[in-house]
Amino acid sequence: MCRGDDPNCTHFAEHRRRFLGDLAPERRAFLKSGFVATGGAAAMAAGGLSLVGPALAQTSAKGIRQTAHYHLPATAETVHWGYFSKLLKPQVEIASGDYVTIETLTHHANDDAERMVTGDPGAESVFLWTKDKKGVARRGAGPETGPLGPGGGLGVHICTGPVAIRGAEPGDVLEVRILDVAPRPCANPAFKGRSFGSNAAAWWGYHYKDMITGDRAREVITIYEVDASGARDWAKAVYNFRWPGVTDPFGVAHPTIDYPGIPVDHTKTQRNFDVLKGVRVPIRPHFGTMGLAPKEADMVNSIPPSYTGGNIDNWRIGKGATMYYPVAVPGALFSVGDPHASQGDSELCGTAIECSLTGTFQFVLHKKADLAGTALETLDFPMIETSEDWVLSGFSYPNYLADLGPDAQNEIFSKSSIDLAMRDAFRKMRSFLMQAKGLTEDEAISLMSIAVDFGITQVVDGNWGVHAIVKKAIFADRPA
């Protein structure tokens, strides 16, 4: 049955209206803490300090005559699993200024299909896997053939899109405003009013080779519940279980979590419901993977982030935040996925609370010819703006696809370090303070040491990340 997620349904508009109406109070409660953390779009506009100054805003707005609002559901036909690609056909083409509501699915939903897949037509189409076929065959950026099927699992995130922006060309900057984020309610009547997510402490986690109790090499999955009724703005653990070793429907054994979307048979797990009792996890809803298609390769693994964004895994990319991306290919080709209910800086064990979300975005294109003399003139990396902060993303390799040569997509996983990511974040912040705020190098270095916070974004995504945060209020008295 259509719940407002099937555009081919003859009553789609009415079903969608009812779905959004039912979700409104749930969305408000779910986003309460995330909204406070990142700030609202209205507050940002009122604050007056933005990367887009009045002159650039006016110039970029000239081409916006009338905006449209599109809806992009998450189905087997609208997602690409585990990769970005400049060759993908756009799911929708929009104009600058338009809005798109985009559904996203966590690639960990099959850790508990009963809570995160069952009864949901979109999720069921994506996660379909029988002995005869998969709903989405290609998973990853690997070759077409192999024991795991097309893609080989070299990339894991379910990305909805891409969205093409009409007129976007290399050298432009795409502004993406995150206007709303909503949980995807469980469609199983047994769990009405709730949403669920999975956290996998997996073999790629920073902790994995530094365990001190029990069996040292173990992967443990914890299922979390998010209240979608409006009663609370925090998550709680439901149960955890050790990865039991799974044989997939094609007969391939998976002793570790080495392929995305493997269905877990809980008749073969030992679930521990006595876990994290009395612990409230604050909600920080955000999108771990969001960005544009890079130009350097036809098929790019979704795991390592790079200069066009992707799997940055920064919890600040939530409601009220704005992202700025350098456009690398015609149309920009924006995709979003890897939705998280909450995550701490570092994403230490390998994942966040991986929880399906729906976002509403506005896209504004800034043309290269209009960027001279603005804060965006030299932008060549993904940048976050909130009502209070500018957040710069540093990586071990700023553009690993170009930096590491023809075997970059393999090399990156053995070459990353926090030292390299810190160096990149420092250089980007220095450049930003000098170019966008008019500081001398000496002024910038002093300010960075006394007023800029550097934090570890993530240490699990191949291309490790360090972010640099500077408060806008610092510049309140500085002439524009």
pLDDT tens digits along 48-73:
589 999 999 999 998 788 899 999 99
Task: Please provide the average confidence, as pLDDT, over all residues in the chain.
Answer: 91
pTM of the model: 0.91
- What are the pLDDT digits (tens) for 308-345? 999 999 999 999 999 999 999 999 999 999 999 999 99
Q: What is the pLDDT of residue 10?
A: 56
Over the stretch 82-100, which tens digit does the pLDDT of each residue have?
Answer: 999 999 999 999 999 999 9
**pLDDT reported for residue 9:** 56
Mind listing the domains of the chain with CATH numbers? Answer: 12-183+282-366 (2.60.120.580)
Residue that wins the pLDDT comparison between 34 and 327: 327
Judge whether residue 244 has pLDDT over 80.
yes
Tens-place pLDDT, residues 438-456: 999 999 999 999 999 999 9
Higher pLDDT, 480 or 13: 480
| Residue 26: pLDDT band with limits 50, 70, 90 | very low
Rounded average pLDDT over 371-392: 96
pLDDT at 46: 36
Looking at residue 383, its pLDDT comes to 98
Cα distances (angstroms) measured from residue 68 to each of 95, 99, 335, 453? 8, 6, 19, 39
For residue 30, is pLDDT > 90?
no
* Peptide bond just before 162 cis, omega within 30 deg: yes
